[in-house]
Amino acid sequence: MDKQRISYVDPATITDARMLAELDRCRREGTPRPESQAIRAHVPACFWSFADTWRDVFHSGVCDHSIKELCRVYVSRSVKCEYCGNQRSIKSARQGLVEEDYKDLLNFEKSVRYDDRQKAALAYAEAITWDLPAEDALWERLHRHFSEPELVELGYFIAITMGQQRWLRTLNIEHHQVLAGTDASMAPGFETAEDLARSKADPDYWARDTRRPVQAAE
């Protein structure tokens, strides 16, 4: 693994009970996992800005959580943020999202796994992530499936998660390094440090795929 660029704040050095409670929630529930928050903990305002956004916009909010989860991992697959791309939302799993639903994201328009509403959301994520033209056809499609509040929340969430993932991928952080010992929100095959190393060594590991999304390449 490449050299880590910013250190973790050791939870043992934190005296803020509320921050410690949030890190423990990350340990138990994930999304986010403790490592990324241990980086943000260098600046408490950054720590809480992200924690509050993730709670109020990702886990809650007006738009379907599982649609936001698909868009989150679409961004991961696009920008090759392995730290984020190897996490899964427990809430989405409880709502019926399965691992196979993540595997066709970069080919979403041609996939039979997604319905029209999901494909519209992913087209929104694609346009934002790849700087594609946001023409009338895209917006007509989006307005068929989403209210304006939903479009605001979804667009905001895609933008926030894209920016965070582009940043985190530069830091060379990894799972199971802070408050280790749980598999909360880890993707199948990444539940332990040993599993993670084995999965990342697999020739078919998703981050080895150099293809761009189908629509963005056309």
**For the chain, how many residues are written?**
218
Task: Determine, yes or no, domain membership for 19.
Answer: no
Total-model pTM: 0.93
User: Residue 206: its pLDDT value, please?
Assistant: 94
Considering the domain boundaries, does residue 43 fall inside one? no
Distance CA 126, CA 215 (A): 8
pLDDT in tens, 85-113: 999 999 999 999 999 999 999 999 999 99
Q: Is the pLDDT of residue 118 over 50?
A: yes
Nearest CA among 84, 27, 51 for reference residue 207: 84
The mean per-residue pLDDT over the stretch 188-216 comes to 86
Q: Assess if residue 22 is contained within a domain.
A: no
Helix H segments across the chain? 17-29, 34-40, 44-53, 65-79, 82-85, 90-94, 116-130, 136-145, 148-168, 193-201, 214-217
Mean pLDDT of the 129-146 span: 97
In the beta sheet, which residues pair with residue 87?
Answer: 186
Domain extent at residue 132: 62-217
Backbone dihedral angles phi then psi of residue 87, each to the nearest 5 degrees = -110, 155
pLDDT > 80? residue 215? no
What CATH number is attached to the domain comprising 110?
Answer: 1.20.1290.10
Per-residue confidence (pLDDT) for residue 209, from 0 to 100:
80
Residues 6+ apart with CB under 8 A from 147: 62
Q: Could you tell me if residue 33 is inside a domain?
A: no
122 within domain boundaries: yes
Residue 217 has pLDDT above 50, yes or no: no
How sure is the predictor about 2, in pLDDT bands with cuts at 50, 70 and 90? confident
Residue 18 located in a structural domain: no
| 204 domain residue, yes or no | yes
- Asked whether residue 38 is assigned to any structural domain, the reply reads no
Domain count, the chain: 1
Residue 189 zone, left/alpha/beta (φ > 0; ψ -120 to 50; rest): left
pLDDT one-digit tens code per residue, 145-177:
999 999 999 999 999 999 999 999 999 999 999
Across 182-205, average pLDDT: 96
pLDDT band at 214 (very low <50, low <70, confident <90, very high): low
Report the alpha-carbon distance of residue 148 to residue 130 in Å, rounded.
22
Residue 186's beta-bridge partner residues? 87
3-state SS class at 95: coil
Residue bearing tokens 């582009």: 166
